[in-house]
Amino acid sequence: MNSRVILILFFSMCTLGAFAQAQKQPAKSTTPAPAKTETKPTTPPAQANQPKVSELTVHFYKKYATALQWNDMVVAKDALYDLIIENPQNDSLIFNLAYFYYENQQYASCVLVSQQLLARNPKDITALEMSAVGYESMGLSDKALQNYESLYLLTNNIAVLYKVAFLQYDVKRYAESLASIDILLSNKDVDSTKVVFNDVENKPKEYAMRVAVLNLKGLVSLDHFGDKAAAKKIFEEALAIAPDFVPAKQNMAKVK
């Protein structure tokens, strides 16, 4: 999702509303008012509902747009903070800031801002994803797993469950990882969905997700159950599908 588009839409809606309000002001009548009558014009309901935009909001948006035009992301970020301070209830602005940090790989800030969005709406899918990626990139597997699990419950996405399975293994929640693995292996999309690993020439290559999930299952059998025979059989199953899958080849060496 493009952060510029969201903010431009927000500003456009506000400014258009203000412009419409100015255009709809009733013209002054040339007919003299009745004697001793000092009634004030009543604001029409439609006019009363028009959004109002402060001069500071207009100024900070212009600052933001100009900074983007001139590729000065530091100033653009500062303008976003100014806009949020002026419009603290606008979730779109806070989302823009979180996405700014996400795009620039400033994951600690991305997580903190995303958590603010999630405090307002725990089912915000995009905020959950940014938060999960942020925690994972900082090496905080427990926190990342919590966000990915919430995300999976909301989306039922196979790629998210794939992340969940690996993180469950990483934090030694082996039984849960094995349950996730079994769900993945029974999913019809596990063969058509691709994941990327480096091949024997250390070049990125796409593999069927099934290969990586089988390799993970072999690791669970080895590390949790200590069953080398079962692990070896699973690694062989992965290599039968992709003989050049490096992780499975390396794990086979552990069970020989």
* Identity of residue 158: I
pLDDT of 52: 78
* Identity of residue 254: K
pLDDT in tens, 184-206: 999 999 999 999 999 989 999 99
Using 50, 70 and 90 to split pLDDT, how confident is the model at 50? low
Tokens of 110: 């991305």
pLDDT in tens, 83-141: 999 999 999 999 999 999 999 999 999 999 999 999 999 999 999 999 999 999 999 99
**Lowest mean pLDDT across 50-54, 65-69, 89-93:** 50-54
pLDDT of 256: 80
3-state DSSP of 103-133:
HCCCHHHHHHHHHHHHHHCCCCHHHHHHHHH
Q: What is the DSSP string of 242-255?
A: -TT-HHHHHHHHHH
Asked if 216 contacts 166 with a C-beta cutoff of 8 angstroms, the reply is yes
Arithmetic mean of pLDDT, 210-227: 96
Question: How far from the centroid of its chain's Cα atoms is residue 85's Cα?
Answer: 23
pLDDT at 255 over 70: yes
Q: What is the DSSP string of 23-79?
A: HTSPPPP-SPPPTT--PPPPPPHHHHTS----HHHHHHHHHHHHHHHTT-HHHHHHH
Using 50, 70 and 90 to split pLDDT, how confident is the model at 7? very low
Asked if 209 contacts 163 with a C-beta cutoff of 8 angstroms, the reply is no
Residue predicted with more confidence, 34 or 109: 109
Arithmetic mean of pLDDT, 165-176: 97
Tokens of 83: 């806009």
User: Which one-letter DSSP state was computed for residue 187?
Assistant: S
Helix (H) and strand (E) counts in the chain: 13, 2
Arithmetic mean of pLDDT, 15-25: 35
Q: How far apart are CA 163 and CA 169, in angstroms?
A: 10
